A and B are shown apart, each in its own frame.
Chain A
Amino acid sequence: MTATNVKVNGAAKSSRFSFKAIIRDAGIGLALIGLIVIFSLSSEHFLAANNITNILTQITINLILAVGLTFVILIAGIDLSVGSVLAFAAVVAGKAITLPGLGPTEAIMLAVMAALLAGTLCGLLNGLISAYWGLPSFIITLGMLNIARGGALHISEAQTIYSFPEQFNDFGSASIFGIPVVFIVALVLVGIAWFVLHKTVFGRMIYGIGNNEEAVRLAGHPVFWYKVAAFTICGLTAGVAAIVYMARLNISSPIAGIGFELNAIAAVIIGGTSLMGGRGSIQGTLLGAFIIGVLANGLILIGLNDFMRQMITGLVIIVAVVLDHYREKYTKV
């Protein structure tokens, strides 16, 4: 043996650079601020009040889906079916809301219940099947993706359902001080999710299962039901998203939500939640949804063509996750 490596200053490896400190502390929020700065410098319309309203409206559905997905991803699962379940719930609710002989209030109430029920049911099935047989949720929810989509097409006979009560549409387009009511609904969901994840036994178990399912099971906790609950919550939020979809567009389309699951998963992952489970936060998911929404909006405002827009969106997802990786690394040691 001859080779010996010489390096005099061992302390040089420690992370004291201010650049690293910034990444460590600000994390994904920094990426969002960066995007906002870039877009406000390059488009006069970006910070206009009505554009901010637009952005908030546009991220609402993705944010609602991402809130539910955060629960599932925290237990190291995945739900690919949320986009299809949204369509299924929207179509079921669309059928309900257009039933003849209902007053507008009854019709809307019935539709809301129908959407929530349909979404919850799909989520419950996802959870029961994957938890009972211990099967990868990736494949079970992929199955559900097809079942729910097929169900939506079947029930609607592949027709767009329309003619909803005006009040429903009013709710979809209402805003308070420029903040869309549907976005406020999403924020309330974020708040509830934060409370549940951080202040309740259930939230503790969600993180515990994601980290070490076996330890939680051996401590006597009903892991099965916690997992089922996580998927059910995800289905429920898809139902809520379906209501927002209907209220915003005043139609139910059986081809609604194609590919939404990927945007929602991206929001959760950009927000720092690990696909391996056990690590992540709902605040991160909120930021992740904002990053995706701001990007989609800003790139159109600065006039980038569709294909460039798609490429840049992909690039930003990767950069955000890489940044988060470094943040994780520096906060650990």
Chain B
Amino acid sequence: MVFLKKASIALVASVALMAGSAMANDKPVVGLIMKSLANEFFRDMLEGTKEHAARRGDYELRAVGMQNETDFQSQINAVENFITQGVDIIVIAPADSRAMVRPLKRAMEAGVVVVNFDVSLDADAKKKQGVDLAFVGPDNRDGARLAGDALAKELGAGAKVVIIEGNPGADNAHERKLGFEDAIKAGGLKLIDSRTAHWETEEANTVFSNMLTAHPDIQGVLAANDSMAIGVVKALESAGRAGDIKVVAFDNIPAVGPMLADGRLLATVDQFGRDMAANSIELGLEVLKGGPQLEGWVKTPLKLVVSDKK
């Protein structure tokens, strides 16, 4: 989707330009770079961060988002624009854990405080570039494990389960899958199939319907996000098995509220995305004020949300 990419570069550039003209006070400037704003998760996070900025009032927020999850080209441009504008802090959720290392290194060399959140930059790439950068974010693997454990506890050892994966190649999709697998192993569950539905409801519905046909004895489903869990639940309803096959997911978006309420969804994981960027900004501001450099992995909280009907 080269065209999309081009369009989003233009978008990013124009947003950055507009922001650049309003740089008159001496409050520290924070550049926030997110992934796709089409993703509810980031959309919500942006709102939370704006509230945070208004509440504190002691920094200026400039935020940009991409058009899709993997558009690191636009992110690189955004980093470069922020360097040019002389922002004090860059807070970034990298679209590519390797490609973003070099531009961020340039930012650090220019004296910008960089905070990496949501998805960790690749350790190898950091080492090769000589970058020492902390990661602020939840442990997706831990979170997925929480959901998986809840499922294991419900079903008991030996139960047959399937995983609905996120986009192949996406780090959080990978981490969540690993977390699900950890829980499956620990709980003695039996994994009989694992397929991607690209984070998408309709595709999850189709893919899971077909998995259910192939394996009518499925007892549990681990979906890597809530959108896909919705598709899975609808497939179960169509097949008349809504109560008897248990589903766990990740994200805790509003749309799964009713499903949690009546037990069609057993559990999901809230990673407090709304506060994640704001927390990172707080950390960055501390460093800017002369606090100690961030180190290693600053983990942010995760919470298992379990169905009321359990």
Contact = CB atoms under 8 A, between A and B. Distances in A.
So, do A and B actually touch in the complex, CB under 8 Å? yes
Interface of A: 43, 45, 48, 50-51, 54, 57-58, 61, 142, 146, 149, 153, 157-163, 173, 245, 248-251, 253-258, 296-297, 300-301, 303, 305-307
B116 interface: no
7 contacts: A45-B216, A57-B209, A58-B209, A146-B3, A159-B253, A255-B227, A300-B211
Contacts of A48: 213
Contacts of A254: 38
A58 B40 contact: no
Interface in B220-272: 227, 230-231, 234, 237-239, 253-255, 258
A227 B292 CA distance: 66
Given A249-B230, A296-B206, A160 B253 contact: yes
Give the interface centre of A142, A158, A159 by most chain B CB atoms within 10 Å.
A158
Contact of A250 (B40, B206, B234): B234
Interface of B: 3-4, 7, 37-40, 43, 168, 193, 195-196, 198-202, 205-207, 209-211, 213-214, 216, 227, 230-231, 234, 237-239, 253-255, 258
SS class, residues of chain B in contact with chain A = helix
Contacts of A158: 37-40, 43
Given A54-B210, A300-B214, A301-B213, 16 more contacts: A54-B209, A61-B202, A149-B38, A159-B43, A159-B253, A159-B254, A160-B201, A161-B255, A162-B230, A162-B254, A173-B238, A248-B202, A255-B227, A256-B200, A300-B207, A305-B195
A146 B2 CA distance: 13
B19 to A, nearest CB: 20
A301 B205 CA distance: 15
Contacts of B214: 43, 45, 300-301, 303
B6 to A, nearest CB: 11
Closest 9 A-B residue pairs measured CB to CB? Answer: A300-B210, A160-B255, A158-B43, A162-B255, A301-B214, A51-B213, A58-B206, A45-B213, A54-B209
Contact of A160 (B207, B210, B211, B227): B227
A245 B205 CA distance: 11
B38 to A, nearest CB: 5
B206 to A, nearest CB: 5
Given A61-B202, A158-B38, A296-B206, A249 B234 contact: yes
Nearest to A53: B238
A180 to B, nearest CB: 9
A307 B168 CA distance: 10
B209 A142 contact: no
